[in-house]
Amino acid sequence: MKVKSPPPPVYAFGYLTPPESGNAINGLGETKKRRARQVFHSSTGEPLAWKALDDFFSLINPIGTVRHVLANTWQLRRSDGAVKPRRREVPDPSAMAAEVKALALGLGATLVGVAEVQEDSLFEGRNPGLRYAICLGLPMDRGEMESAPHPRAAIEVMRAYRVVAGIAVRLAEKIRAMGWPARAYGNPNSTDILMIPLAVRAGLGELGKHGSMISTEHGSNFRLAAVLTDLPLALDTPVDIGVQDVCSVCRRCVDDCPPRAILEEKQMVRGERKWYVDFDKCIPYFVKTFGCAICIEVCPWSEPGRGPSLSARVLAKRRGARSR
Amino acid sequence: MRTLDGSGRLSDLRLLRRLCAMLWQYLTVGGRLRREYRLRESRGEVFWVDAQGPTEHREQSLRQDR
């Protein structure tokens, strides 16, 4: 996809008193492991450093996105609930994982995997007290997303969040009906958890250079939700589809990012080397363009049907290099 | 975790009221903000989000109730 004349990174909004750098809050350059802190989007009551810009973002968004936000918030009132007193025993977590995945796919998810909830996937001060995460992915409409950065793409992003959240809510209800606690998380402001580390461990894809997930099936053109539960489930493992090989040489998202926010090399972030997007450059442009999404749409993996062949080619090349 | 104490309907009503308030805020406060922002943008001026923007909006108060 080629971006058609995106607006320049020049802003008619700003801070009189600039907040703390989002990169500092995110732990850029920190060598010690620690949990992430919320910076921008949040659904909790605590004040955030960048809340004024988040509020501004909420109000300048088109009504079409607001409609999905409201509908999503309404359906998420059922994210948690009463657990059926009689618990279904689970002698075989593998069989139960297969059953739950079939349920999720039946409800409309296209990607599903199971990971254990660990420290790196919880925000500071948060503890949902549930052991497993069932991660769900749902593609966005490529036709709509190709308009990015445009309100049409923003509306499609929020539509996908709403739909995948609905799947998570219904899956959590089914698990609670089995007598196990389950809580759905289906909001970009996901309160307790960081979706991406969970989804990577659940084998849905890999973290790309642009800071978003890349899957074989949808590239980056999809949205995540999750169900946290204590239902015993066999865990999935992270996948290697060749994203790291491609991202280390590809510059597509770096070159097409108007504010030049995507860093070319992996960075040390909270004690881990990983791809990182400069928050302070990305977010103002994200706000100006109602969620931008250029990087995820120009990503070669996001071209429909390209992921499987790209992955096969890269992995074959790597195997060939090793055997020489 | 919610329990079966019959309070679900009440919390649903509270949530519905807050969603209506959010929509009302978007239309009223948001409408004024969007006009002001566009005006400043056309004049080449800056809209200061920490001084001229809303101090509270939608999800903060909403979530405290859930």
How far, in Å, CA of A203 to CA of A188, rounded? 20
- Look at residue B7 in the predicted model and tell me its pLDDT: 65
Q: Which residues contact A231 (CB under 8 A, 6 or more apart)?
A: A90, A96, A100, A132, A175, A178, A180, A182
- Per-window interface: A 72-131 vs B, CB < 8 A: 73-74, 77, 80-83
Assess whether pLDDT exceeds 50 at residue B57.
Answer: no
How far, in Å, CA of A252 to CA of A248, rounded? 11
Q: Token pair for residue A9?
A: 């990174």
Burial A106-131 (b: 16+ CB within 10 A, else e): ebebbbbbbbebeebbbbeebebebe
Query: Minimal Cα distance from A60: which residue of B?
Result: B34
Which residues does chain A have within 8 Å of residue B49's beta carbon, measured at their own beta carbons?
A: 13-15, 52-53, 55-56
**Total domains present in chain A:** 1
- Look at residue A217 in the predicted model and tell me its pLDDT: 97
Which residues does chain A have within 8 Å of residue B44's beta carbon, measured at their own beta carbons?
A: 12
Domain-embedded: residue A52: yes
Peptide bond into A9 cis (omega under 30): no
Which residues does chain B have within 8 Å of residue A123's beta carbon, measured at their own beta carbons?
A: none
Residue of A16, A19, A45 lying closest to B48 (CB–CB): A16
Which residues does chain A have within 8 Å of residue B33's beta carbon, measured at their own beta carbons?
A: 56, 59-60
Domain-embedded: residue A13: no
- Look at residue B52 in the predicted model and tell me its pLDDT: 80
Q: Token pair for residue A165?
A: 């959240």
Residue type, A61: N
Domain-embedded: residue A299: yes
Query: Minimal Cα distance from A13: which residue of B?
Result: B47
Domain-embedded: residue A265: yes
Biggest CA pair distance of chain A: 60
If one compares A296 and B56, the residue with the highest pLDDT of the two is: A296
- Residue A324: how many other CB atoms lie within 10 Å: 5
Domain-embedded: residue A305: yes
Domain-embedded: residue A45: yes
- Look at residue B62 in the predicted model and tell me its pLDDT: 41
All structural domains of chain B with their residue ranges = 8-15+22-64
Show the domain range for A225. 22-323
- Look at residue B66 in the predicted model and tell me its pLDDT: 37
Query: Minimal Cα distance from A50: which residue of B?
Result: B50
- The answer to whether residue A13 neighbours chain B at the CB level (below 8 Å) is yes
A185 has which bridge partners? A226
Assess whether pLDDT exceeds 60 at residue B59.
Answer: no
- Look at residue A61 in the predicted model and tell me its pLDDT: 94
Domain-embedded: residue A7: no
How far, in Å, CA of A275 to CA of A254, rounded? 12
| A-interface mutation test, from B1, B22, B37, B41, most A Cβ less than 10 A away | B1
- Look at residue A316 in the predicted model and tell me its pLDDT: 96
pLDDT tens digits along B3-47:
444 567 899 999 999 999 999 999 999 999 999 999 999 999 999
Per-10-residue mean pLDDT of chain A, 324 residues long, equals 88 94 97 93 74 92 95 94 97 98 98 96 93 98 96 97 98 98 85 93 98 98 98 98 97 97 97 97 97 97 97 95 80
Domain-embedded: residue A9: no
- Choose among A156, A204, A213, A164: nearest CA to A184: A164
**From chain B, which residues contact A within 8 Å (Cβ)?**
1-4, 8, 11-12, 15-16, 19, 22-23, 25-26, 29-30, 33-34, 37, 40-41, 44-51, 53-60, 62-64, 66
- Confidence (pTM): 0.93
Query: Minimal Cα distance from A48: which residue of B?
Result: B60
